[in-house]
Amino acid sequence: MRTKIKMFLLILSLAIPVLWVSCNEDDTILNGNNKFEAEDTFSFDVQVENQSRLRLVAITGNIDITGNVQANTVSISGTKRVKAKSMEDAEQRLTELNVDVQDMINEVFVVTMQPDDTQGRDYEVDYTITLPENLEVHVNSVTGNLEINTISNNVSIGHVTGSVTLEEIEGSANVELVTGIIEGKVTLPLNNNITMRIVTGNIILNIPVNTSAEFSANVITGSINVSNLTLQNKVETSTFLGGTLGNGEGTISLRTVTGNISVSGFNL
Buried b / exposed e along 84-109 (16+ C-beta atoms within 10 A): bbeeebbbebbeebebeeeeeeebbb
Pair 221, 257 in one domain? yes
One domain for residues 102 and 5: no
Residue 25 has what pLDDT?
A: 33
Q: Which amino acid is at 116?
A: D
Tell which of 114, 132, 150 closes a domain: 132
Predicted local distance difference test score (pLDDT) of residue 268: 83
C-alpha torsion angle, residues 161, 211, 171, 189 (rounded to 10): 160
Q: Read off the pTM.
A: 0.87
Say if residue 243 is in the same domain as residue 111: no
Average pLDDT over residues 25-51: 78
Decide if pLDDT at 90 tops 50: yes
Residues 2 and 105 in one domain: no
For residue 198, pLDDT over 50 is answered with yes
Q: Considering the chain, what is the average pLDDT of its residues? A: 90
pLDDT above 70 for 2: no
Query: Same domain, yes or no, for 103 and 193?
Result: no
Question: Do residues 241 and 267 both lie within one domain?
Answer: yes
Residues 6+ away with beta carbon under 8 Å from 92 = none
**CB distance 210 to 191 below 8 Å:** no
Same domain, 212 and 148: yes
Q: Which range marks the domain in which residue 151 is found?
A: 1-20+142-268
- Are 116 and 237 contained in the same domain? no
> Does residue 76 belong to any structural domain of this protein?
yes
Residue 41: in which H helix or E strand, if any? Answer: strand 36-47
Q: Tell me, yes or no, whether 30 and 5 share the same domain.
A: no
Predicted pLDDT of residue 33: 80
Predicted confidence band of residue 28 (pLDDT cuts 50, 70, 90) = very low
Considering the domain architecture, whether residues 7 and 88 belong to the same structural domain is answered as no
Q: Are residues 75 and 46 in the same domain?
A: yes
For residue 157, is it within any domain? Answer: yes
In this structure, the answer to whether residues 28 and 13 fall within a common structural domain is no
Q: How many domains does the chain have?
A: 2
